[in-house]
Amino acid sequence: MTTRTTPFPEGFLWGASTAAHQIEGNNVNSDWWRKEHDPAAGIQEPSLDACDSYHRWEQDMDLLADLGFTDYRFSVEWARIEPARGHFSQAEIAHYRRMVDGALARGLRPMVTLHHFTVPRWFEDFGGWTADGAVELFARYVEECAPIIAEGVRHVCTINEPNMIAVMAGLAKSGDQGFPPAGLPTPDEETTHAIIAAHHAAVKAVKGINPDIQVGWTIANQVYQALPGAKDITAAYRHPREDVFIEAARGDDWLGVQSYTRTKIGSEGPVTAPAEAERTLTQWEYYPTAVGHALRHTADFAGPGMPLIVTENGIATADDTRRVAYYTGALAAVAACIEDGLNVQGYLAWSALDNYEWGSFAPTFGLIAVNPVTFERTAKPSAVWLGAMGNTRALPHA
């Protein structure tokens, strides 16, 4: 494998991402913990200790910094900070502040996500995002996070993948138990409006804490590709599932692009990938250039000059050589976008660790393997390879 000069600009974010519930373990006050332990929910396995990163976050950061990464995206857990309505744990706020300080001490720029899928049990019982007063409750939580993010945090993500939150709410209302073979279910419209309002309130709250913080949110991009004659159908299908959330981000400091595969749309809607297509452990089609398509569509729809950050991109596989091949294709697509004038400001891989993938530990996205008994961390060859580019920015190609 050879390298060529990279188009990645000075200051480009080069890192990996995680989410609190997926790595911390024992998030007992969250809605997901309750769901995992409800037999009626049909969850394959609970998160339990996860990666024990609540206690071992220093090991995680040491590894990432030693590997050469310059940025680390992690989330704070609302259910820990506000375990009961109106009760804010100063100990937990201090815990997450120590994580920010720990990242900075290691030369890692922290990107802090304020909501990554999970909410406190009390918030779910209150009625969730569509309840009267929910937006204000979320904004109050964000304000209470001031000691965590006020200093040393350049980038804050308000809400991770709001379109998926709306999709899951739609599934819950319809009583459906799962996703179709291709594409996404219809998002719940009421939740869509509520989550957008929550984002705008959170942006205002963050700017009130420190106006220099760069605030945005992240969208789950499905890379909808129109088959012949299905352009209008594709646009109509995409809008409530993606574009309305991109539109809501206009005026933000940056917009997160998260992409893993593609979805083809025909005259009857989403089309399942052919049986012979290579698939990942999540059964998604192996399609490394998805992130490039996602960046281009987001830039087209968000408007010229919108700062974009790839906040998640990766592959669930047990074959680390396929992980390297996937990242090689993905990074080439990102580089091409930059060369074509897109304002791409960073690339953060998903995920730093093999973690709890919302029901199972089986889909291994991690650059770093985690022993489920001892919690020993072991950097995979892909982590060494990808991390080294944090210093060289030399783009590999076959």
Rounded CA gap, 78 and 358, in Å?
A: 17
Averaged pLDDT, 285-300 = 98
Say yes or no to pLDDT of 188 above 70: yes
What is residue 7's predicted lDDT score, i.e. its pLDDT? 81
Selection from 24, 30, 74 nearest residue 49 by Cα: 24
Q: How many helices (H) and strands (E) does the chain have?
A: 15, 15
**How far is residue 153 from each of residues 33, 103, 287, 364, 371, measured CA to CA in Å?**
29, 10, 33, 29, 31
What is residue 391's predicted lDDT score, i.e. its pLDDT? 76
According to DSSP, the residues that pair with 368 across neighbouring strands are: 353, 379
pLDDT class for 1, splitting at 50, 70, 90? low
**How far is residue 392 from each of residues 8, 350, 389, measured CA to CA in Å?**
10, 20, 5
pLDDT tens profile 382-391: 999 999 988 7
% of the chain exceeding 70 in pLDDT: 97
Averaged pLDDT, 155-183 = 92
What is residue 396's predicted lDDT score, i.e. its pLDDT? 60
Selection from 359, 279, 361, 364 nearest residue 314 by Cα: 364
Angle of helix 53-67 versus helix 90-105 axis, rounded to 10: 10
pLDDT class for 277, splitting at 50, 70, 90? very high
Say yes or no to pLDDT of 335 above 90: yes
Averaged pLDDT, 256-279 = 97
Is it true that domain 2-221+235-258+282-391 has CATH number 3.40.50.720?
no
Query: Which residue matches tokens 């999709």?
Result: 167
Rounded CA gap, 176 and 170, in Å?
A: 9
Say yes or no to pLDDT of 3 above 70: no
Rounded CA gap, 331 and 376, in Å?
A: 29
CA dihedral 320, 322, 324, 330 (to 10 degrees): -140
Say yes or no to pLDDT of 398 above 70: no
**Which residues, other chains included, contact 206 with Cβ-Cβ below 8 Å and sequence gap of 6+?**
142, 149, 156, 158, 213, 215
Say yes or no to pLDDT of 104 above 80: yes
According to DSSP, the residues that pair with 294 across neighbouring strands are: none
What is residue 5's predicted lDDT score, i.e. its pLDDT? 63
Instruction: Judge contact between 354 and 378, C-beta under 8 A.
Output: no
Rounded CA gap, 287 and 285, in Å?
A: 6
Averaged pLDDT, 118-145 = 98
Strands 308-312 and 344-350: parallel
Averaged pLDDT, 133-154 = 98
| H-type alpha helices, 145-287 | 146-149, 162-174, 189-209, 231-238, 244-248
Domain boundaries, the chain: 2-221+235-258+282-391
Q: For 353-365, b where at least 16 C-beta lie within 10 A, e where not — what string?
A: bbbbbbbebebbb
pLDDT tens profile 26-42: 999 999 999 999 999 99
% of the chain exceeding 90 in pLDDT: 92
pLDDT class for 176, splitting at 50, 70, 90? confident
Extended strands (E) in 232-340: 254-259, 263-266, 269-271, 308-312
The model scores a pTM over 0.85 = yes
pLDDT tens profile 59-87: 999 999 999 999 999 999 999 999 999 99
Rounded CA gap, 149 and 170, in Å?
A: 32
What is residue 390's predicted lDDT score, i.e. its pLDDT? 80
According to DSSP, the residues that pair with 87 across neighbouring strands are: 84
pLDDT class for 359, splitting at 50, 70, 90? very high
Say how many Å lie between the first and final Cα of the chain, rounded: 5
pLDDT tens profile 195-227: 999 999 999 999 999 999 999 999 999 999 999
**Which residues, other chains included, contact 325 with Cβ-Cβ below 8 Å and sequence gap of 6+?**
288
Instruction: Judge contact between 111 and 71, C-beta under 8 A.
Output: yes
Rounded CA gap, 396 and 398, in Å?
A: 7
Rounded CA gap, 280 and 231, in Å?
A: 27
pLDDT class for 4, splitting at 50, 70, 90? low
Say yes or no to pLDDT of 394 above 80: no
Cα atoms found within 13 Å of the Cα of residue 153, Cβ hemisphere only: 33
Averaged pLDDT, 242-256 = 98
SS3 of 131, please? coil
Rounded CA gap, 168 and 175, in Å?
A: 10
Q: Which two tokens stand for residue 87?
A: 């009760």
